[in-house]
Chains A and B, each alone.
Chain A
C-alpha cells in the first residue's frame, strides 16, 4: 500500500521506479487541468508531460506523463486517473513493456572556429540535425530515447555552454490497445 494514509504504512517495500503513463482523453476544455490537478492534489509527481490531439474526428487527445513511484503508488495513480470522466484509457507502458518511446530536444550552442569541428563530430555521432546556423550560433535537433538525449547533452555541453528545450518523452505501445 502507499503511504497516503495519515497513519504510517507498515510495509512500503517496492522500489521507486520511473513509469511512462499514456492516457487517452476526450479533447474538451479543462481536461488537462483535471489530469494535472489529480497529480498535484494527491501529492504525486510529474516529471514530464506531453499532450496533443491525436484524432480530430473523435476529438481525442493523448497525454503522456512520466511519473515515479512504487507499484502501489502507480496503481493508485492509474485508478485515480480512471475516475476522471473524460478519460478513456490509461496504460502503464513501463509495466507493459513492448513499447517505443521518443523525445525531441533542441540545443543551441555558440561554436568558435576552433571547436566547430568537434561540435559537428558529436552531432554526427548522435545524428543530431543542424536546423539553424547564424554567426556561429548553432541549433541542433535531436530525437530519440531520453537516455540518448541525456548522453548527447552530456557530451556536447563539454564544449561550450548550451541552451536546451526538451519535449519530454512520448511513447506508444507496440501491442494492440486493450480497454482498461
Chain B
C-alpha cells in the first residue's frame, strides 16, 4: 500500500466499501441485505451520500442497475448477500456481459475461515460467476479492498464494458485496514483494454477509397456506438450525413441515428425492416460500426451479404472474424476511430458523389414500398402494433425512456416506437432475459427522475419480476408498465404456429392475475383498455398519473410479429405474413436452431 501516509487512520472494511463507492462518484446502490453483508449495511445506515434502493429479489437489483447504467452512461452498482443473494444475480450478470453493460456487483461471503466448509449461505461465488463476468475478485486482505474496488470500476467501464463481481468475506468487512484513493494510473495497463485507438492513415485512406468507389453502400450500426458515449453517436451521425449512405441499426443500436432521419432504414435482422435486410443482402460495401454479426442479425451465414466488402470497427478483437469474415478490420473505440476518419476526410477534402448511389437509393425506395410493417387494423380488438403506435404518438413530445421484456412485444416496440436519441431504449438483446424490463425501468427512473419511463411488457414476462412493484411503490418511482396482454407467451406461440404445426405446448397462460387489481393491491394504479377506442384515454391517464401504473392492454391473442427471417433463412428470404411459407429445406434446417 503506497498510500499509508495519506490515510493514516484505519477504517473498517465496510467503511472502506462506502468510501470507495463515494470516491467513485456512486450515488445509488441497488441491493438486498442478508447475513454476510450486515456490516456494510450497518455502515450505510444513517448516511445520505448514497441512496439505497431496496429491491424484492436480487434479480431485480441487477436489472435495475443495468437500467440505471444504460440510461445514464454511468456504472451500475449492486449489493447482495452471499449464497442465494449471489446466485440470484447470475442471470443479470450474464445479461450485462452479453450486452456490455458496466456493473459492479458487491457480494457478501461467509467469513474467510469458513470458506470451503459448506457454511450457511455459502457458495463459490467467484467460481459460479467467473464465466458470466468480465472479471471477479475474492478479497482476502482488507488492505487490498479499496484498490480492488477502484480497479473493478476501471475494468467495468473500460474497453468493452461489462460486469465485475467483488466477493467480500464478512470478517474482511469487520477488519481494519488502510484506504487508498482512486488512481487509475496505478492499474497495470494489461488489466484494462490497451486501446489501440490510433490507426494508421493508410488504413483510413483505404476506408475512404472504399466509400468513394462504392455504388451500393450501407452502414450497419450497433450498440458499441452507444457504449462509446454521447459524442460517439454525434460523430457517427456526422459520418452518415457526410456520405449520404443508408443506415440500418441493430436492436442494441436503435437511437444512434434518429428514426426520423431520411437515411435510416430502421432495424435489421430477424424482425427487422424488409428494406434494411434486402439492402444488407445486396450491398457492395458494409460499414459495421460497433456491431457483432449476431445470429439474429445475419440469418443464414452462407448467404449473408455475399457480394460486399466489409469494414468492421469494434473495440473487442474477438468480435472480429468470429462469425463473418471481414475485409478491413479495425480494433478500437468506435467514436475515436470515426473521429479520425472524419478528420482526414475533411483535411483531404474528400467528397462522395451522391449521384453514384442514386440508383441504390431508388432500389431501396422500391423495397420500402412493400410496407413491411403493414397490419390489419380492427375496430373490435386492439392490435398490439396499434397500441405501440398510439403509445409513441402520445409520448413522443416528452423525454421518454422505453424498456422492454423479451418476446413479441419487444420486437413490436423496436419496430413501431421511433427512437430519436441514444440511451432511451433499454432492452435485453444478447441474453434475451424475460423479466428484464420492469426492474430496468426502475433503475432508469432512479437515474432520470424527470423522464417518463415506460416498460413495454408482455403478460408472461412481467410476471417474472412482478415483485418489484413493491420496490417501485416504496421508492416512489412513477414507472409505467404497459402490458400487451394476449394471454400467450406470444413469441413461443408464434414459433409453435410456424414450426410445430400449431401445437401450442404450454404457451397459453390460464389463471393470470387481474392486473388492475394486482396494481391496486401494491398501492399502485391499475388501468385497462380492451377496445381500440379506449386506448388513447388509458395511455393519457397512464402518462398523467404521477405514480407507478400498470396499463393492461388486452390485445389480439394470435397476432404474429412480421416481417420475419425464419431460422435457417437468409436476409433476402424474409417472409412478410404467415401465408408466405419458408422454403422447405431452410425450414427443416431452421427448426433445429434457436
Contacts and interface: CB of A to CB of B under 8 A. Distances in A.
Contacts of A26: 188, 191
A37 B298 contact: no
Contacts of A30: 126, 130, 136, 138
B295 A87 contact: no
Interface string A122-150: 00000000000000000000000000000
Nearest to B138: A29
A180 B589 CA distance: 40
B58 to A, nearest CB: 23
Contacts, number: 70
B302 A9 contact: yes
A9 B301 contact: yes
B318 A83 contact: yes
A10 B130 contact: no
Given A1-B322, A6-B593, A83-B318, A33 B130 contact: yes
Interface in A64-111: 72, 75-76, 79-80, 82-83, 85-89
A4 B318 CA distance: 12
Contacts of A7: 295, 298-302, 568, 593
B178 to A, nearest CB: 21
Interface in A2-16: 2, 4-11
Contact of A75 (B136, B190, B321): B321
Contact of B298 (A5, A33, A72, A87): A5
B301 A85 contact: no
Nearest to B191: A85
A76 B190 CA distance: 19
B594 A6 contact: yes
B301 A34 contact: no
Contact of A4 (B126, B138, B322, B594): B322
B301 A5 contact: yes
A1 B324 contact: yes
Contacts of B589: 8
Contacts of A88: 190
B325 A1 contact: yes
- Report the contact-size class of chain A (Cβ under 8 Å from the partner): 20 to 34
A79 B301 contact: no
A83 B138 CA distance: 19
Nearest to A2: B322
Nearest to B126: A30
B302 A37 contact: no
B317 interface: yes
B64 to A, nearest CB: 26
Contacts of B321: 1, 72, 75-76
A10 B322 contact: no
B318 A79 contact: yes
Given A1-B323, A1-B324, A10 B318 contact: no
Contacts of B135: 85
A5 B323 contact: yes
Nearest to B324: A1
Contact of B318 (A34, A76, A85, A86): A76
A43 interface: no
A6 B294 CA distance: 10
B301 A8 contact: yes
B316 interface: yes
B314 to A, nearest CB: 11
B231 to A, nearest CB: 25
B155 interface: yes
Nearest to B568: A7
B196 to A, nearest CB: 10
Contacts of A29: 138
B585 to A, nearest CB: 12
Nearest to A83: B318
Contacts of A34: 130
A34 B300 CA distance: 32
Interface string B565-594: 000100000000000000000000100011
Interface in B315-333: 316-318, 320-325
B127 interface: yes
A80 B324 CA distance: 16
B25 interface: no
A82 B188 CA distance: 14
A83 B318 CA distance: 8
Interface string B355-396: 000000000000000000000000000000000000000000
Interface string B210-231: 0000000000000000000000
22 contacts: A1-B321, A1-B323, A4-B322, A5-B323, A6-B593, A6-B594, A7-B299, A7-B300, A7-B593, A8-B300, A8-B301, A9-B302, A26-B188, A30-B136, A30-B138, A37-B131, A41-B131, A76-B318, A79-B317, A80-B318, A82-B318, A85-B191
Closest CB pairs A-B (n = 4): A10-B302, A79-B318, A85-B135, A7-B301
